[in-house]
A and B are shown apart, each in its own frame.
Chain A
Amino acid sequence: MGVAIVITSGKGGVGKTTTTANLGTALALQGKKVCLVDTDIGLRNLDLVLGLDNRIIYDLVDVVEGRCKIHQALVKDKRVDEKLFLLPAAQTTDKNAVNPEQMKSLVDELKREYDYVLIDCPAGIEQGYKNAVAGADRAIVVTTPEISAVRDADRIIGLLEQENIEPPKLIINRIRKDLMKTGDALDINEITTHLSVDLLGIVIDSEDVISSSNKGEPIVMDPNSKASLGYRNIARRILGESVPLMSIEDNSKGMFKKFISIFSK
């Protein structure tokens, strides 16, 4: 029996979908069987970030309404063999096409076959959010170091605490170390104490994330990116390993350059 984790944020554009795609891929790379569920019905895009958009035949609404079997709708990611699957959202209807009970039984069915079911939640706190949370055992809240995202995260954590799930965990996404240093962005400590939830990990803002999304290739596939490392660490923490929080300092300098910099002070 697997675990269903909903990835949510309240505010849009903080990186729920990117996080879902990357954590899913990272978990699959660690050898877990993972199914990603896109619940953003009417505005689906998890398939694009994974580069699976042209392989969709059936979608979530088709499954719920009984037009196909669940395994017919699942799209396999060929890069991670037999480990990563996507249940895409429908594009032609809206969030009211499914209800929380249907979602719960769907997720329960997926949990029987997969180690991890990651549910990508739409922005907002309406029907789509209720559907996404219905089947989840755990929740991950994604935020960015902006006051608006933190405020919405606070709201969503409040709502999640009403649900019958484990206390939500926090990911701080799109960290800009230059802004954090000067105090122009909220710092990590400030955000976690304000929200008073456990920090699951941080992800550093990087242009590679955008370009890799556009290519349909999750950034975790690229082991050299700092954002990729953030996602990999988070995946390891989900698996129960204790991984120290990465520093936001740039230590990409080579040994030789470091050596030089000692003398050039």
Chain B
Amino acid sequence: MNKQLVHIKGTKAGLVLRLDDQCAYAELVEELERKVLEGGIDGKVDVQLHLGNRYLLSAQQKELIAIVEGPGNMHVSKVHSDVITIEESNEKVLTDQSETYIGIIRSGQIVKTDGNIVVIGDVNPNGKIEAGGSIYVLGNLKGIAHAGVNGNKEAIVVASHFEPTHVLIDDQIEVMSNEKPFVKENADQIFAYINRDGIISYERVQEVRKIRPLLSTIKGGS
């Protein structure tokens, strides 16, 4: 064998194992086992697996992780691959995209989406929006808003007039009938998010850039 199938590289964050993506899987496993055993590393170290253009089933991924973690002094922190399946890609497209709903969500109506949603119109009492991502309402939010339904704690709820009966983000529920002077006084243009303590809190929309900078998908203004 004249070509190395497993490259080991040390970085600040630990070791990076770059695995060849052209050889057969069996060969790779064999080589990896050998490299791991000869290793001779002292103490615990974090390892990242870079798979390149190889797609691995989750069972195969587990097998590789088990091999690396076998001797006991290495811990796989991340598995990185340049390829994903069409299914994963479609899912990502759905959760990342923004849908636009123009109209009024009235009592008894539910609007659902996998990604973010922009509502141009009102959400009336007893009307409900459910989004996998964030909810942006250009109008009066007087109904129920549930953002991050599939466990996205980063999601936020924004409204030009923020007066909902219930706000839900992921599995957190907030019933707005409780006295909230901040929300009442600043009903125009505030947003809801899950803070570091895991509970829903409110800030002026100008603070989104500090609290959720990663929601921005575009940089500019220069």
Contact = CB atoms under 8 A, between A and B. Distances in A.
Interface of A: 151-152, 154-155, 157-159, 161, 194, 196
Interface stretch (B11-19, B104-112, B180-188): B104-112
A125 B57 CA distance: 51
Given A161-B106, A196-B121, 16 more contacts: A151-B107, A151-B125, A152-B107, A154-B107, A154-B125, A154-B126, A155-B106, A155-B107, A155-B126, A157-B106, A158-B104, A158-B106, A158-B127, A159-B108, A196-B104, A196-B122
B124 interface: yes
Contact of A154 (B103, B106, B121): B106
B66 to A, nearest CB: 54
Contacts of A194: 124
B107 A158 contact: yes
Contacts of A158: 104-109, 127
A157 B126 CA distance: 13
Given A158-B107, A158-B108, A151 B126 contact: yes
Interface of B: 103-109, 121-122, 124-127
Contacts of B126: 151, 154-155
Contacts, number: 28
Nearest to A155: B107
A132 to B, nearest CB: 18
Q: Which of A152, A158, A159, A194 has the most CB of B within 10 A?
A: A158
Nearest to A125: B108
Contacts of B108: 155, 158-159
- What secondary structure prevails in chain A residues at the interface with B? helix
Contacts of B105: 158
A159 B125 CA distance: 15
Contacts of B104: 158, 196
A155 B126 CA distance: 9
A39 to B, nearest CB: 21
Nearest to A162: B109
Contacts of B125: 151, 154
A123 to B, nearest CB: 15
Nearest to B121: A196
Pairs of residues from A and B, 9 with the lowest C-beta to C-beta distance, nearest first:
A158-B106, A155-B107, A154-B107, A155-B108, A154-B106, A158-B109, A154-B124, A151-B107, A196-B104
A154 B121 CA distance: 14
A198 to B, nearest CB: 14
A155 B128 CA distance: 12
26 contacts: A151-B107, A151-B125, A151-B126, A152-B107, A154-B106, A154-B107, A154-B124, A154-B125, A154-B126, A155-B106, A155-B107, A155-B108, A155-B126, A157-B106, A158-B104, A158-B105, A158-B106, A158-B107, A158-B108, A158-B109, A158-B127, A161-B103, A161-B106, A194-B124, A196-B104, A196-B121
B128 to A, nearest CB: 12
Contacts of B122: 196
Contacts of A152: 107
Contacts of A159: 108
Contacts of A155: 106-108, 126
B124 to A, nearest CB: 5
A159 B105 CA distance: 11
Contacts of B106: 154-155, 157-158, 161
A196 B109 CA distance: 16
Q: Which of B103, B122, B124 has the most CB of A within 10 A?
A: B124
A113 to B, nearest CB: 35
A154 B125 CA distance: 9
Contacts of A154: 106-107, 124-126
